[in-house]
Amino acid sequence: MILCCGEALIDMIPTVDVHGRNAYVPHPGGSVFNTAIALGRLGLEPGFLSGLSTDLFGKLIQNSLAECGVKHALSVYSDLPTTLAFIELNDGHAQYHFYDENTAGRMLTEDMHPPIPQTVSAIYFGGISLIVEPCCDFYISLAKRASLDKVVMVDPNIRQSFIRDVDRYRARLDTLLAACNILKVSDEDLDWIAPGPLSLLEKAKELRLKGPEMVILTRGKDGATAIFGDDEIVDVPARKAHVVDTVGAGDTFNAGVLAALSVADVLSKAGIENVTASVVKDVLEFGAQVAAINVSRSGANPPWAHELSGLIPPFQNGKNTV
């Protein structure tokens, strides 16, 4: 099982009501929540670990997870409120305004760790949960523990407005890099992590020296690149799509990567260390395929398995439920 660890919140999506007035509609969301939902819709039956509220919004989140086949029993439940994120859309690109103080998702501490079942083969971390305190320490210590025998994938998905102490955050990020096997970064993330004149490819290679066996670099409409093995490089173009908005695109891409690695039977420490270029190409192409579907419709709305056509080779071997 793939276990997704990180925030679940309510995205307040702007709309116009029947009287022409501006309004907001609540939709369950959050970077790691989106990835878990996408994996569930692909038939992978993932798990989800977060701080979940027992309030009305928390129940909405739990119902959405269940509807997509995502197991959330490992989550920590409390009566603290659910995080809210109000979204502004400008030319299809999302800007977020978070209300996150003293919420169920944020107020996780290291002593709340649940035991991780042996059935978990890989753990995914990402989003604002890796920035805000105290929950960042909850997730980082869990990543360190999990890295002993499980594949760890990290997408820092850096939100600079949340970073209060840059030095402390960079130190935590170095801890995560040392613990992870797969690091996914956007071009903007990479330039923030490694400022300076080096090319994006050179920066990605430098990050590998800190721990990850594979670094995946996404560049929006310019596609994605993976660096792995003996500095092997695989590039894939972005899929053409009519872009409605980009909410959840990276989260869905990550789900596609994890799903394809799992179905190809390489989502293990040995598998990642010895993965071939042909498998990596298939994995990136599938990530691009599912992300393209997500951006073609409003909000974070990853595809269900039955919506996919022209499946990549790992999804044609009969081992998956897609």
Instruction: Give the pLDDT mean for 31-42.
Output: 96
Instruction: Give the pLDDT mean for 129-148.
Output: 96
pLDDT confidence band for 208 (50 / 70 / 90): very high
pLDDT in tens, 80-111: 999 999 988 777 666 778 899 999 999 999 99
pLDDT confidence band for 321 (50 / 70 / 90): very low
DSSP state of 71: B
What CATH number has the domain spanning 2-316?
3.40.1190.20
Which pLDDT belongs to residue 92? 61
In the chain, the amino acid numbered 215 is V
Which pLDDT belongs to residue 316? 47
Provide the phi-psi class of 92: left if phi over 0, else alpha when psi is between -120 and 50, else beta.
left
259 CB-near residues (< 8 Å, 6+ apart): 39, 42, 44, 286, 320, 322
How many residues does the structure list for the chain?
Answer: 322
What is the spatial distance between Cα 55 and Cα 228, in angstroms, rounded to a whole number?
44
Which pLDDT belongs to residue 224? 97
Q: Where are the beta strands (DSSP E) in the chain?
A: 2-5, 9-16, 22-29, 47-49, 51-53, 76-78, 84-90, 93-99, 122-126, 151-155, 182-186, 214-218, 224-228, 232-236
pTM value is: 0.93
Which pLDDT belongs to residue 318? 40
| CA distance between the termini of the chain | 16
What is the spatial distance between Cα 49 and Cα 105, in angstroms, rounded to a whole number?
10
